Protein backbone atom coordinates (compact mmCIF):
# COMPACT_ATOMS: atom_id res chain seq x y z
CA UNK A 1 0.00 0.00 0.00
CA UNK A 2 1.66 3.30 -1.14
CA UNK A 3 0.18 5.25 1.79
CA UNK A 4 1.87 2.89 4.24
CA UNK A 5 5.21 3.26 2.50
CA UNK A 6 4.97 7.05 2.34
CA UNK A 7 3.90 7.48 5.97
CA UNK A 8 6.48 5.03 7.26
CA UNK A 9 9.25 6.93 5.47
CA UNK A 10 8.04 10.29 6.84
CA UNK A 11 7.61 8.78 10.29
CA UNK A 12 11.10 7.41 10.42
CA UNK A 13 12.57 10.68 9.03
CA UNK A 14 10.73 13.08 11.33
CA UNK A 15 8.88 11.57 14.26
CA UNK A 16 10.76 10.88 17.49
CA UNK A 17 8.41 8.43 19.21
CA UNK A 18 7.81 8.27 22.95
CA UNK A 19 9.19 5.17 24.70
CA UNK A 20 10.34 3.56 21.45
CA UNK A 21 13.58 1.95 20.31
CA UNK A 22 14.09 3.75 17.01
CA UNK A 23 16.44 1.22 15.52
CA UNK A 24 13.87 -1.50 16.04
CA UNK A 25 11.21 0.80 14.61
CA UNK A 26 13.32 1.62 11.54
CA UNK A 27 13.78 -2.08 10.76
CA UNK A 28 10.07 -2.80 10.75
CA UNK A 29 8.44 0.55 9.96
CA UNK A 30 5.67 1.94 12.14
CA UNK A 31 2.24 0.39 11.92
CA UNK A 32 -0.10 3.12 10.70
CA UNK A 33 -3.40 3.03 12.57
CA UNK A 34 -6.10 4.52 10.39
CA UNK A 35 -9.46 3.94 12.03
CA UNK A 36 -11.23 2.35 14.97
CA UNK A 37 -14.62 1.13 16.11
CA UNK A 38 -15.76 -0.47 19.36
CA UNK A 39 -12.84 -2.53 20.66
CA UNK A 40 -11.01 -2.80 17.33
CA UNK A 41 -8.53 -0.68 15.42
CA UNK A 42 -7.45 -1.11 11.79
CA UNK A 43 -4.10 -0.39 10.17
CA UNK A 44 -3.33 1.02 6.74
CA UNK A 45 -2.88 -2.52 5.39
CA UNK A 46 -6.44 -3.37 6.38
CA UNK A 47 -5.57 -5.60 9.37
CA UNK A 48 -8.12 -5.68 12.17
CA UNK A 49 -6.56 -5.58 15.64
CA UNK A 50 -8.34 -6.21 18.94
CA UNK A 51 -7.21 -3.35 21.15
CA UNK A 52 -6.93 -4.99 24.54
CA UNK A 53 -5.02 -1.95 25.86
CA UNK A 54 -7.79 0.64 25.20
CA UNK A 55 -5.21 2.71 23.33
CA UNK A 56 -3.03 3.52 26.32
CA UNK A 57 -5.47 2.54 29.08
CA UNK A 58 -7.77 5.37 28.08
CA UNK A 59 -10.54 4.48 25.62
CA UNK A 60 -12.88 3.31 28.38
CA UNK A 61 -16.09 3.94 26.40
CA UNK A 62 -14.69 2.29 23.27
CA UNK A 63 -14.04 3.77 19.82
CA UNK A 64 -16.51 5.31 17.39
CA UNK A 65 -18.70 7.27 19.82
CA UNK A 66 -20.36 9.88 17.64
CA UNK A 67 -21.76 11.78 20.58
CA UNK A 68 -18.27 12.55 21.83
CA UNK A 69 -17.27 13.89 18.42
CA UNK A 70 -20.45 15.95 18.30
CA UNK A 71 -19.95 17.37 21.80
CA UNK A 72 -16.46 18.49 20.78
CA UNK A 73 -17.67 19.93 17.48
CA UNK A 74 -20.48 21.92 19.11
CA UNK A 75 -18.10 23.36 21.67
CA UNK A 76 -15.51 24.22 19.02
CA UNK A 77 -18.11 26.26 17.16
CA UNK A 78 -19.46 27.92 20.29
CA UNK A 79 -16.25 28.70 22.18
CA UNK A 80 -13.10 26.82 21.15
CA UNK A 81 -10.95 28.23 23.91
CA UNK A 82 -10.84 30.53 26.83
CA UNK A 83 -8.62 30.56 29.88
CA UNK A 84 -9.45 30.47 33.57
CA UNK A 85 -6.63 32.79 34.70
CA UNK A 86 -8.25 36.23 34.34
CA UNK A 87 -10.94 35.66 36.95
CA UNK A 88 -12.77 34.06 34.02
CA UNK A 89 -14.22 30.61 33.50
CA UNK A 90 -16.27 28.64 30.96
CA UNK A 91 -19.43 26.61 31.29
CA UNK A 92 -17.97 23.19 30.39
CA UNK A 93 -15.11 23.60 32.89
CA UNK A 94 -17.42 24.66 35.71
CA UNK A 95 -19.94 21.93 34.99
CA UNK A 96 -17.25 19.28 34.81
CA UNK A 97 -15.63 20.39 38.08
CA UNK A 98 -19.02 20.26 39.80
CA UNK A 99 -19.87 16.91 38.24
CA UNK A 100 -16.59 15.28 39.23
CA UNK A 101 -16.94 16.63 42.73
CA UNK A 102 -20.41 15.05 42.85
CA UNK A 103 -19.24 11.77 41.32
CA UNK A 104 -16.29 11.16 43.66
CA UNK A 105 -17.62 9.63 46.89
CA UNK A 106 -16.57 11.57 50.02
CA UNK A 107 -13.92 9.99 52.23
CA UNK A 108 -14.09 10.13 56.00
CA UNK A 109 -17.12 12.41 55.67
CA UNK A 110 -15.16 14.92 53.57
CA UNK A 111 -15.99 15.74 49.97
CA UNK A 112 -13.69 16.29 47.05
CA UNK A 113 -14.89 19.84 46.80
CA UNK A 114 -12.50 21.20 44.15
CA UNK A 115 -10.79 20.20 40.92
CA UNK A 116 -7.57 21.56 39.39
CA UNK A 117 -7.47 20.86 35.66
CA UNK A 118 -4.57 20.07 33.36
CA UNK A 119 -4.21 18.24 30.05
CA UNK A 120 -2.55 15.03 31.22
CA UNK A 121 -1.69 12.75 34.07
CA UNK A 122 1.91 13.94 34.11
CA UNK A 123 0.95 17.58 34.49
CA UNK A 124 -1.55 16.65 37.18
CA UNK A 125 1.14 14.93 39.22
CA UNK A 126 3.31 18.04 38.89
CA UNK A 127 0.33 19.95 40.23
CA UNK A 128 0.15 17.50 43.13
CA UNK A 129 3.75 18.16 44.12
CA UNK A 130 2.98 21.90 44.14
CA UNK A 131 -0.25 21.35 46.10
CA UNK A 132 1.45 19.21 48.74
CA UNK A 133 4.21 21.78 49.27
CA UNK A 134 1.81 24.70 49.30
CA UNK A 135 -0.50 22.95 51.76
CA UNK A 136 2.25 22.20 54.26
CA UNK A 137 3.64 25.75 53.91
CA UNK A 138 0.20 27.13 54.69
CA UNK A 139 -0.09 24.74 57.63
CA UNK A 140 3.16 26.13 59.05
CA UNK A 141 5.07 22.89 58.41
CA UNK A 142 7.30 23.81 55.46
CA UNK A 143 9.76 21.00 56.20
CA UNK A 144 7.18 18.42 55.09
CA UNK A 145 8.50 18.27 51.54
CA UNK A 146 9.35 14.63 50.98
CA UNK A 147 7.00 12.57 48.83
CA UNK A 148 7.30 8.81 49.03
CA UNK A 149 6.42 6.73 45.98
CA UNK A 150 7.02 3.17 44.84
CA UNK A 151 9.47 1.32 42.65
CA UNK A 152 8.00 0.54 39.22
CA UNK A 153 5.23 3.10 39.66
CA UNK A 154 4.44 5.22 36.62
CA UNK A 155 3.34 8.77 37.36
CA UNK A 156 4.20 10.47 34.09
CA UNK A 157 7.05 11.84 32.02
CA UNK A 158 7.51 15.43 33.21
CA UNK A 159 10.44 15.90 35.58
CA UNK A 160 8.22 15.64 38.65
CA UNK A 161 6.12 12.83 37.15
CA UNK A 162 9.17 10.79 36.18
CA UNK A 163 10.71 11.44 39.62
CA UNK A 164 7.58 10.27 41.40
CA UNK A 165 7.56 7.28 39.10
CA UNK A 166 9.83 4.46 40.10
CA UNK A 167 11.14 3.42 36.69
CA UNK A 168 14.91 3.04 36.91
CA UNK A 169 15.40 3.50 33.16
CA UNK A 170 13.66 6.88 33.28
CA UNK A 171 15.68 7.97 36.30
CA UNK A 172 18.93 6.93 34.63
CA UNK A 173 18.30 8.98 31.48
CA UNK A 174 16.95 12.06 33.24
CA UNK A 175 19.33 12.37 36.21
CA UNK A 176 16.30 11.82 38.42
CA UNK A 177 14.59 11.69 40.84
CA UNK A 178 14.44 15.34 41.85
CA UNK A 179 15.34 16.02 45.51
CA UNK A 180 12.80 15.13 48.21
CA UNK A 181 11.26 12.26 46.25
CA UNK A 182 12.05 8.74 47.39
CA UNK A 183 10.76 5.22 46.74
CA UNK A 184 9.80 2.03 48.51
CA UNK A 185 9.32 -1.43 47.05
CA UNK A 186 6.03 -2.35 45.30
CA UNK A 187 3.52 -4.81 46.80
CA UNK A 188 4.24 -7.54 44.23
CA UNK A 189 3.41 -10.74 46.08
CA UNK A 190 4.21 -13.14 43.23
CA UNK A 191 7.62 -11.61 42.59
CA UNK A 192 8.74 -10.52 46.06
CA UNK A 193 7.17 -12.78 48.71
CA UNK A 194 9.36 -15.10 50.74
CA UNK A 195 8.79 -18.80 50.00
CA UNK A 196 5.53 -19.84 51.66
CA UNK A 197 4.58 -16.28 52.67
CA UNK A 198 0.81 -15.76 52.36
CA UNK A 199 -0.63 -12.88 50.38
CA UNK A 200 -2.02 -11.47 53.58
CA UNK A 201 1.28 -11.48 55.45
CA UNK A 202 3.16 -10.14 52.47
CA UNK A 203 0.62 -7.29 52.05
CA UNK A 204 1.20 -6.20 55.64
CA UNK A 205 4.95 -6.44 55.28
CA UNK A 206 4.88 -4.41 52.05
CA UNK A 207 2.77 -1.69 53.69
CA UNK A 208 5.21 -1.51 56.57
CA UNK A 209 8.01 -0.62 54.16
CA UNK A 210 6.20 2.70 54.06
CA UNK A 211 6.39 3.08 57.82
CA UNK A 212 10.08 2.13 57.80
CA UNK A 213 10.75 4.80 55.19
CA UNK A 214 8.79 7.43 57.10
CA UNK A 215 10.78 6.70 60.24
CA UNK A 216 14.05 6.71 58.33
CA UNK A 217 13.34 10.18 56.89
CA UNK A 218 11.63 11.56 59.99
CA UNK A 219 7.82 11.95 59.92
CA UNK A 220 8.13 15.73 60.29
CA UNK A 221 9.76 15.85 56.84
CA UNK A 222 7.27 13.63 54.98
CA UNK A 223 4.51 15.43 53.08
CA UNK A 224 2.76 12.70 51.12
CA UNK A 225 2.66 9.16 49.86
CA UNK A 226 1.60 8.68 46.23
CA UNK A 227 0.45 5.39 44.72
CA UNK A 228 -1.80 3.88 42.10
CA UNK A 229 -4.53 1.72 43.69
CA UNK A 230 -3.41 -1.00 41.27
CA UNK A 231 -0.05 -0.35 39.65
CA UNK A 232 -0.71 -0.28 35.90
CA UNK A 233 2.28 0.44 33.70
CA UNK A 234 4.51 -1.28 36.28
CA UNK A 235 2.92 -4.55 35.15
CA UNK A 236 -0.60 -4.63 36.67
CA UNK A 237 0.52 -5.26 40.23
CA UNK A 238 -2.63 -6.09 42.22
CA UNK A 239 -1.94 -5.58 45.93
CA UNK A 240 -3.01 -8.17 48.51
CA UNK A 241 -6.23 -7.22 50.37
CA UNK A 242 -4.26 -6.49 53.52
CA UNK A 243 -2.08 -3.84 51.86
CA UNK A 244 -4.23 -0.73 51.50
CA UNK A 245 -5.89 -0.76 54.95
CA UNK A 246 -2.44 -0.96 56.51
CA UNK A 247 -1.12 1.86 54.30
CA UNK A 248 -4.10 3.97 55.32
CA UNK A 249 -3.43 3.26 58.99
CA UNK A 250 0.19 4.35 58.55
CA UNK A 251 -0.51 7.61 56.68
CA UNK A 252 -3.18 8.45 59.28
CA UNK A 253 -0.81 7.71 62.13
CA UNK A 254 1.77 10.21 60.85
CA UNK A 255 -0.69 12.73 59.37
CA UNK A 256 0.77 12.28 55.90
CA UNK A 257 -1.25 13.16 52.80
CA UNK A 258 -2.30 10.31 50.53
CA UNK A 259 -2.35 10.85 46.78
CA UNK A 260 -4.20 8.20 44.77
CA UNK A 261 -2.98 8.29 41.18
CA UNK A 262 -6.12 7.11 39.39
CA UNK A 263 -5.04 7.99 35.87
CA UNK A 264 -5.61 4.33 34.99
CA UNK A 265 -7.82 3.13 37.85
CA UNK A 266 -10.44 5.89 37.59
CA UNK A 267 -13.64 6.01 35.55
CA UNK A 268 -14.75 2.42 35.87
CA UNK A 269 -11.54 0.55 35.17
CA UNK A 270 -11.65 -1.36 38.49
CA UNK A 271 -15.45 -1.66 38.50
CA UNK A 272 -15.99 1.54 40.48
CA UNK A 273 -15.89 5.18 39.48
CA UNK A 274 -12.60 5.42 41.38
CA UNK A 275 -10.17 2.80 42.57
CA UNK A 276 -10.08 4.28 46.06
CA UNK A 277 -13.69 3.10 46.49
CA UNK A 278 -12.73 -0.46 45.70
CA UNK A 279 -9.93 -0.50 48.27
CA UNK A 280 -11.74 1.63 50.86
CA UNK A 281 -8.92 4.17 51.07
CA UNK A 282 -9.22 7.85 51.90
CA UNK A 283 -6.99 9.89 49.62
CA UNK A 284 -6.53 13.64 49.99
CA UNK A 285 -5.71 14.15 46.31
CA UNK A 286 -6.82 12.03 43.36
CA UNK A 287 -5.00 12.29 40.02
CA UNK A 288 -7.16 11.61 36.98
CA UNK A 289 -6.74 11.77 33.17
CA UNK A 290 -7.23 9.20 30.40
CA UNK A 291 -10.69 7.69 31.07
CA UNK A 292 -12.25 11.05 31.97
CA UNK A 293 -12.62 11.70 28.23
CA UNK A 294 -12.08 8.09 27.13
CA UNK A 295 -9.03 9.55 25.39
CA UNK A 296 -11.14 11.53 22.90
CA UNK A 297 -9.50 14.76 24.17
CA UNK A 298 -6.41 15.36 26.30
CA UNK A 299 -7.59 16.20 29.80
CA UNK A 300 -6.34 15.55 33.30
CA UNK A 301 -6.61 16.98 36.76
CA UNK A 302 -6.60 16.55 40.49
CA UNK A 303 -9.61 16.06 42.72
CA UNK A 304 -8.87 17.96 45.91
CA UNK A 305 -10.36 16.93 49.20
CA UNK A 306 -11.90 19.59 51.43
CA UNK A 307 -9.10 19.05 53.93
CA UNK A 308 -6.73 20.68 51.43
CA UNK A 309 -9.09 22.77 49.34
CA UNK A 310 -10.32 24.73 52.35
CA UNK A 311 -6.78 25.69 53.31
CA UNK A 312 -5.88 26.60 49.71
CA UNK A 313 -8.99 28.70 49.19
CA UNK A 314 -9.28 30.35 52.60
CA UNK A 315 -5.65 30.89 53.53
CA UNK A 316 -3.77 30.42 50.31
CA UNK A 317 -4.12 33.64 48.34
CA UNK A 318 -2.91 33.11 44.80
CA UNK A 319 -1.75 29.59 43.90
CA UNK A 320 1.03 30.45 41.44
CA UNK A 321 0.48 27.47 39.17
CA UNK A 322 -1.58 26.74 36.05
CA UNK A 323 -1.60 25.63 32.45
CA UNK A 324 -2.87 27.43 29.36
CA UNK A 325 -5.23 24.52 28.85
CA UNK A 326 -6.41 24.11 32.47
CA UNK A 327 -10.14 23.54 32.04
CA UNK A 328 -10.02 23.60 28.23
CA UNK A 329 -13.67 24.01 27.22
CA UNK A 330 -13.60 21.50 24.35
CA UNK A 331 -11.89 18.83 26.44
CA UNK A 332 -14.33 19.46 29.30
CA UNK A 333 -17.35 19.30 26.98
CA UNK A 334 -16.15 15.95 25.65
CA UNK A 335 -15.53 14.74 29.22
CA UNK A 336 -19.10 15.62 30.20
CA UNK A 337 -20.48 13.68 27.23
CA UNK A 338 -18.19 10.77 28.09
CA UNK A 339 -19.41 10.70 31.70
CA UNK A 340 -22.96 10.60 30.31
CA UNK A 341 -22.05 7.42 28.41
CA UNK A 342 -20.28 5.75 31.34
CA UNK A 343 -23.26 6.55 33.55
CA UNK A 344 -26.03 5.67 31.07
CA UNK A 345 -24.47 2.32 30.19
CA UNK A 346 -23.32 1.82 33.78
CA UNK A 347 -19.93 0.67 32.55
CA UNK A 348 -18.38 0.71 36.05
CA UNK A 349 -21.24 -1.48 37.35
CA UNK A 350 -21.01 -3.81 34.38
CA UNK A 351 -17.31 -4.34 35.00
CA UNK A 352 -17.93 -4.85 38.72
CA UNK A 353 -20.69 -7.43 38.51
CA UNK A 354 -20.70 -8.92 35.04
CA UNK A 355 -17.78 -8.68 32.63
CA UNK A 356 -15.07 -8.14 35.28
CA UNK A 357 -15.81 -11.42 37.08
CA UNK A 358 -15.99 -13.22 33.73
CA UNK A 359 -12.62 -11.75 32.72
CA UNK A 360 -11.19 -12.86 36.08
CA UNK A 361 -12.35 -16.41 35.45
CA UNK A 362 -11.20 -16.66 31.84
CA UNK A 363 -7.92 -14.81 32.35
CA UNK A 364 -7.21 -16.89 35.45
CA UNK A 365 -7.53 -20.06 33.34
CA UNK A 366 -4.42 -19.00 31.44
CA UNK A 367 -2.42 -20.02 34.52
CA UNK A 368 -2.67 -23.61 33.24
CA UNK A 369 -0.33 -22.72 30.35
CA UNK A 370 3.23 -24.02 30.76
CA UNK A 371 4.68 -20.50 30.41
CA UNK A 372 2.37 -18.76 32.86
CA UNK A 373 3.30 -18.51 36.54
CA UNK A 374 0.32 -16.45 37.64
CA UNK A 375 -2.62 -14.84 35.82
CA UNK A 376 -4.83 -12.41 37.70
CA UNK A 377 -7.09 -9.45 37.17
CA UNK A 378 -8.89 -6.69 39.02
CA UNK A 379 -11.87 -5.19 37.23
CA UNK A 380 -10.67 -4.58 33.68
CA UNK A 381 -6.90 -4.72 34.21
CA UNK A 382 -5.18 -8.07 34.02
CA UNK A 383 -1.63 -9.36 34.03
CA UNK A 384 0.21 -12.63 33.77
CA UNK A 385 3.82 -13.53 34.50
CA UNK A 386 5.84 -15.55 32.00
CA UNK A 387 8.19 -17.85 33.88
CA UNK A 388 10.81 -20.42 33.03
CA UNK A 389 9.84 -22.68 35.90
CA UNK A 390 6.40 -22.57 37.46
CA UNK A 391 7.26 -24.42 40.68
CA UNK A 392 10.17 -22.16 41.66
CA UNK A 393 8.74 -19.06 39.94
CA UNK A 394 12.06 -18.71 38.20
CA UNK A 395 11.95 -15.91 35.60
CA UNK A 396 13.51 -16.08 32.15
CA UNK A 397 16.90 -14.45 31.57
CA UNK A 398 16.15 -10.81 30.64
CA UNK A 399 18.25 -11.03 27.45
CA UNK A 400 15.78 -13.59 26.07
CA UNK A 401 13.16 -10.77 26.04
CA UNK A 402 10.39 -13.35 26.26
CA UNK A 403 7.77 -10.67 26.94
CA UNK A 404 8.63 -8.86 23.72
CA UNK A 405 8.52 -12.14 21.83
CA UNK A 406 5.06 -12.85 23.19
CA UNK A 407 3.95 -9.30 22.39
CA UNK A 408 5.12 -9.76 18.81
CA UNK A 409 3.04 -12.94 18.50
CA UNK A 410 0.04 -11.07 19.89
CA UNK A 411 0.44 -8.30 17.35
CA UNK A 412 0.92 -10.79 14.53
CA UNK A 413 -2.35 -12.49 15.56
CA UNK A 414 -4.26 -9.19 15.66
CA UNK A 415 -4.15 -8.41 19.39
CA UNK A 416 -2.60 -5.50 21.26
CA UNK A 417 -1.23 -6.87 24.52
CA UNK A 418 1.54 -5.06 26.32
CA UNK A 419 4.76 -6.53 27.73
CA UNK A 420 6.32 -5.09 30.89
CA UNK A 421 9.44 -7.18 31.21
CA UNK A 422 7.98 -10.67 31.35
CA UNK A 423 4.56 -9.55 32.56
CA UNK A 424 1.94 -9.51 29.82
CA UNK A 425 -0.89 -7.11 30.51
CA UNK A 426 -4.27 -6.03 29.17
CA UNK A 427 -6.74 -3.27 30.00
CA UNK A 428 -9.62 -3.62 27.53
CA UNK A 429 -12.27 -1.02 26.74
CA UNK A 430 -15.03 -1.30 29.35
CA UNK A 431 -17.57 -2.08 26.63
CA UNK A 432 -15.95 -5.44 25.88
CA UNK A 433 -18.59 -8.17 26.23
CA UNK A 434 -18.21 -11.79 27.32
CA UNK A 435 -17.95 -13.09 23.75
CA UNK A 436 -15.17 -10.62 23.02
CA UNK A 437 -13.43 -11.61 26.26
CA UNK A 438 -13.44 -15.18 24.93
CA UNK A 439 -12.00 -13.96 21.62
CA UNK A 440 -9.23 -12.07 23.44
CA UNK A 441 -8.35 -15.07 25.62
CA UNK A 442 -8.11 -17.31 22.55
CA UNK A 443 -5.71 -14.83 20.91
CA UNK A 444 -3.60 -14.67 24.07
CA UNK A 445 -3.45 -18.47 24.24
CA UNK A 446 -2.34 -18.65 20.62
CA UNK A 447 0.44 -16.12 21.29
CA UNK A 448 1.54 -18.08 24.37
CA UNK A 449 1.67 -21.30 22.34
CA UNK A 450 3.73 -19.66 19.62
CA UNK A 451 6.08 -18.14 22.18
CA UNK A 452 6.55 -21.56 23.78
CA UNK A 453 7.22 -23.12 20.39
CA UNK A 454 9.90 -20.49 19.67
CA UNK A 455 11.55 -21.09 23.04
CA UNK A 456 11.67 -24.84 22.42
CA UNK A 457 13.26 -24.46 19.00
N1 LIG B 1 -0.14 8.27 36.18
C2 LIG B 1 -0.42 7.03 35.80
C3 LIG B 1 -0.85 6.03 36.82
C4 LIG B 1 -0.34 6.65 34.46
O5 LIG B 1 -0.59 5.40 34.08
C6 LIG B 1 0.05 7.63 33.51
C7 LIG B 1 0.14 7.28 32.08
O8 LIG B 1 0.11 6.15 31.69
C9 LIG B 1 0.35 8.92 33.96
C10 LIG B 1 0.23 9.21 35.29
C11 LIG B 1 0.79 9.97 33.00
O12 LIG B 1 -0.28 10.40 32.26
P13 LIG B 1 -0.05 11.16 30.88
O14 LIG B 1 0.59 10.19 29.95
O15 LIG B 1 -1.44 11.58 30.50
O16 LIG B 1 0.82 12.34 31.17
Greatest alpha-carbon span in the chain: 68
Task: Give me ligand 1 centre to Cα 442, in Å.
Answer: 29
Express each pLDDT in 281-309 by its tens digit. 999 999 999 999 999 999 999 999 999 99
- Backbone torsions φ then ψ of 319, nearest 5 degrees: -90, 110
55 with 116, same domain?
no
**Does residue 12 belong to any structural domain of this protein?**
no
**Does residue 286 belong to any structural domain of this protein?**
yes
204 with 227, same domain?
yes
Across the chain, mean pLDDT equals: 97
407 with 274, same domain?
no
**Does residue 19 belong to any structural domain of this protein?**
no
Asked whether the predicted pLDDT for residue 314 surpasses 90, the reply is: yes
In this structure, are residues 150 and 227 in contact, taking their beta carbons and an 8 Å threshold? yes
274 with 243, same domain?
yes
**Does residue 160 belong to any structural domain of this protein?**
yes
54 with 129, same domain?
no
**Does residue 169 belong to any structural domain of this protein?**
yes
Asked whether the predicted pLDDT for residue 257 surpasses 90, the reply is: yes
265 with 173, same domain?
yes
**Does residue 43 belong to any structural domain of this protein?**
yes
* Ligand 1 pocket list (CB less than 6 A): 56, 120-122, 125, 154-156, 228, 232-233, 261, 263-264, 289, 300
Give me the number of domains the chain comprises: 2
Atom of ligand 1 nearest to the CA of 156: 11
302 with 361, same domain?
no
Atom of ligand 1 nearest to the CA of 231: 3
**Does residue 40 belong to any structural domain of this protein?**
yes
Asked whether the predicted pLDDT for residue 327 surpasses 90, the reply is: yes
In percent, the amount of the chain with pLDDT more than 90 equals: 98
CATH of the domain at 356: 3.90.1150.10
In this structure, are residues 96 and 283 in contact, taking their beta carbons and an 8 Å threshold? no
Query: Which among 300, 321, 344 is the end of a domain?
Result: 344
Give the global pTM. 0.98
Strands 33-37 and 222-227, sheet pairing? unpaired
Ligand 1 pocket test: pick from 264, 335, 420 the residue with the most ligand atoms within 8 Å of its Cβ: 264
48 with 131, same domain?
no
Atom of ligand 1 nearest to the CA of 120: 15
Q: How many CB atoms lie within 10 A of CB 171?
A: 15
Task: Give me ligand 1 centre to Cα 121, in Å.
Answer: 4
Strands 48-51 and 415-416, sheet pairing? parallel
Atom of ligand 1 nearest to the CA of 233: 5
Task: Give me ligand 1 centre to Cα 178, in Å.
Answer: 18
Query: Which among 314, 344, 374 is the end of a domain?
Result: 344
- Backbone torsions φ then ψ of 303, nearest 5 degrees: -85, 130
- Give the separation between CA 261 and CA 286, rounded to whole angstroms: 6
In percent, the amount of the chain with pLDDT more than 70 equals: 100
Ligand 1 pocket test: pick from 18, 122, 230 the residue with the most ligand atoms within 8 Å of its Cβ: 122
Q: What is the mean pLDDT of residues 191-218?
A: 98
Confidence of residue 381 (pLDDT cuts 50, 70, 90): very high
313 with 434, same domain?
no
DSSP state of 239: P
Residue with CA at minimum distance from ligand 1 atom 7: 156
CATH of the domain at 128: 3.40.640.10
Asked whether the predicted pLDDT for residue 349 surpasses 90, the reply is: yes
**Does residue 55 belong to any structural domain of this protein?**
yes
Express each pLDDT in 153-201 by its tens digit. 999 999 999 999 999 999 999 999 999 999 999 999 999 999 999 999 9
Q: What is the ipTM of this complex?
A: 0.99
User: Structural domain of residue 420, as residue ranges?
Assistant: 31-61+346-456
- Per-position b or e across 326-362, b if 16+ CB within 10 A of its CB: bbbbbbbbbbbbbbebbeeeebbbbbbeebbeebbeb
355 with 323, same domain?
no
Atom of ligand 1 nearest to the CA of 265: 3
Q: What is the mean pLDDT of residues 389-412?
A: 96
270 with 416, same domain?
no
256 with 361, same domain?
no
Query: Which among 320, 344, 368 is the end of a domain?
Result: 344
Q: What is the mean pLDDT of residues 47-74?
A: 98
Asked whether the predicted pLDDT for residue 24 surpasses 90, the reply is: no
Amino acid sequence: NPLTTELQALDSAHFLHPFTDHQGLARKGARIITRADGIYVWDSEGHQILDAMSGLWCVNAGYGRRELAEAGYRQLLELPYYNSFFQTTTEPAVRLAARLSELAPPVGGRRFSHVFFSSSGSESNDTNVRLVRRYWDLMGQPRRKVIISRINAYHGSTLAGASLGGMSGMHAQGDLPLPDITHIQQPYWYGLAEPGESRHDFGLRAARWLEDKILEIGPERVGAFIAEPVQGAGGVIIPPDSYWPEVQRIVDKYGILLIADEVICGFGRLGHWFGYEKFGIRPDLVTFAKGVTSGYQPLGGTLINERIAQVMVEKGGEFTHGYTYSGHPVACAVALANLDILEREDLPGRVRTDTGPYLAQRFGELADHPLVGIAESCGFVAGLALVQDKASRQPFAPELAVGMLCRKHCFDNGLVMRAVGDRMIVAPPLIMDCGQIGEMIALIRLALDRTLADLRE
